[in-house]
Amino acid sequence: MQKLPQVLEKDIRYNEQNMKVDIASVRFLRALAYFYIARIWGDAPLISDVVDNDFNNRQRESQARILDFVQQELVAAAAALPWNYNGQQPEYLGVYYDQGGSFWQSRIASKAACYAMLAHLNAWRGDYASCESYARLVYENTSLGNYTFAATASLTTETAGVFGGQNNGVIFALTADANFQESAAKGHLEDWTLSTPLVDKTTPDIFIPADSILQIFSEPNDQRFAISQSGAVTGDYFRNFTNPVPMFSKIKARSFTQEPLYNDFQSAIVITRYEDIVLLRAEALYYLNDISNAVVYLNTIRTRRGLTEFDTQTGGNVLTAILKERQRELLGEGHRWFDLLRNQRADLYSGLSKDQIQAGAALWPLAQSTLINNPSLQQNSFWK
């Protein structure tokens, strides 16, 4: 960020429009990284300048200070970024780095990506009025951002679907495209979750037990996964359900690199997609005591996945229903733990008591190597 003005000065091919958008993109990525750091470890060193290798002994800033910084950066980035890169947005006119708008779809920072993360940030802080405001911006500008609801089939399609990365259902993802040599045999979720017949592995390394799957997908006709009274399975979130170890097959973006077939994986890490923000808006409306509209947005997702509309008279607690729908829709995408913490429900599912969570058990411990590299840091209190 601090060097780009020198590029502008010395490279006639570079221009101020590019520099403005590039700096905003970096601010978005830095804010995204710090949002995860603050939620996972709490307090952390906050580095916002050129460090010249002197950062090892920086002390931790408070989580609140880091979240303030994240908010500041996302607001600044949103002001400079276009909704999409079709070359017709006032923030960026023309072709961005010689590629059309479809090339950049969901794989680069945008206004929608900033507003989506601002919605999550404010939900995490308990400011649901701001959360709803930012989620509404995402919801009301789908045509500008060129994102929409994902078809159920695209949630489990191997390469052209949501987890291929470039999909109109995705607002922002970190891609791993085999066309650019970004795929890998290790390090992707599929390396742990897939088994035969998709990969040469008898049982997956990690899995969801069958009884838990039935508790999560407990309603009939769910297009993502359902099992009838006769035992017939529909939906492609899971395969081998009758085996002792079911396979989580929702995410399976494979690329075949040679004969005999050798699997590389190229699934994107989907940071946020449209359904995530619609359900987050439902959560915000619940906390703002607008229950009727919260149910409207909840049902927007339910009916698209084959479920009946939620009935406030017979369906139980609305917030519980919203969180369960987030669990079903976003399964495997890294949201559930933060959803539970944000809503003070982690003790119901994690084995941690409320007292342990209050004492800091929900924060990860710092690695020993980190403590050695930076003596100014102290271990998180619960893990000392």
- For 196, the 3-state DSSP assignment is coil
Residues in the chain: 384
Measured CA to CA, the distance from residue 222 to residue 227 in angstroms comes to 9
Which has more confidence, 107 or 53?
Answer: 107
Taking CA atoms, 361 is separated from 35, 40, 194, 348, 350, in Å, by 19, 11, 30, 14, 11
Is-cis flag, bond preceding 220, omega within 30?
no
Token duo for residue 378: 């102290």
- What's the confidence (pLDDT) of residue 230? 84
- For 271, the 3-state DSSP assignment is strand
Structural domain boundaries in the chain: 4-175+271-373, 176-267
- What's the confidence (pLDDT) of residue 259? 52
* Residue 193 burial (C-beta neighbours within 10 Å; 0-12, 13-18, 19+): buried
Mean per-residue pLDDT, 155-169: 88
Residue 174 has pLDDT above 60, yes or no: yes
Beta strand pairing status for 263-265 and 254-256?
A: antiparallel
Token duo for residue 341: 């913490």
Q: Phi/psi at 264 (nearest 5 deg)?
A: -105, 155
Question: With contact defined as beta carbons under 8 Å apart, do 167 and 150 qualify?
Answer: yes
In a 13 Å sphere around the CA of 157, the CA atoms on its Cβ side amount to 14
Residue 106 has pLDDT above 60, yes or no: yes
Token duo for residue 139: 């919801």
Taking CA atoms, 123 is separated from 75, 130, 134, 281, 355, in Å, by 16, 8, 10, 9, 22
Residue 257 has pLDDT above 90, yes or no: no
Q: Where are the beta strands (DSSP E) in the chain?
A: 88-89, 92-93, 170-174, 226-227, 233-234, 238-239, 247-248, 254-256, 263-265, 269-273
Split at pLDDT 50, 70, 90, the class of 199 is: confident
The DSSP call for residue 96 is: B
3-state helix, strand, coil in the chain (%, to 5): 45, 10, 45
Which one is the CATH code of 4-175+271-373: 3.40.1390.10, 3.20.20.140, 1.25.40.390, 1.10.10.60? 1.25.40.390
Residue 258 has pLDDT above 70, yes or no: no
pLDDT tens profile 291-314: 999 999 999 999 999 999 999 888
- Give the global pTM: 0.95
Measured CA to CA, the distance from residue 83 to residue 92 in angstroms comes to 9
Is-cis flag, bond preceding 260, omega within 30?
yes
Q: Phi/psi at 83 (nearest 5 deg)?
A: -70, -40
Q: Which amino acid is at 126?
A: G
Which has more confidence, 18 or 159?
Answer: 18
- What's the confidence (pLDDT) of residue 73? 98
Residue 260 has pLDDT above 60, yes or no: no
Q: Could you tell me which residues are beta bridge partners of residue 226?
A: 234
pLDDT tens profile 329-339: 999 999 999 99
Poorest-pLDDT segment among 16-25, 132-141, 157-166: 157-166
Mean per-residue pLDDT, 140-150: 96
Measured CA to CA, the distance from residue 169 to residue 295 in angstroms comes to 21
pLDDT tens profile 213-254: 999 999 999 999 999 888 889 999 999 998 899 999 999 988
- What's the confidence (pLDDT) of residue 261? 55
Q: Residue 334: how many CB atoms within 10 A of its CB? A: 12
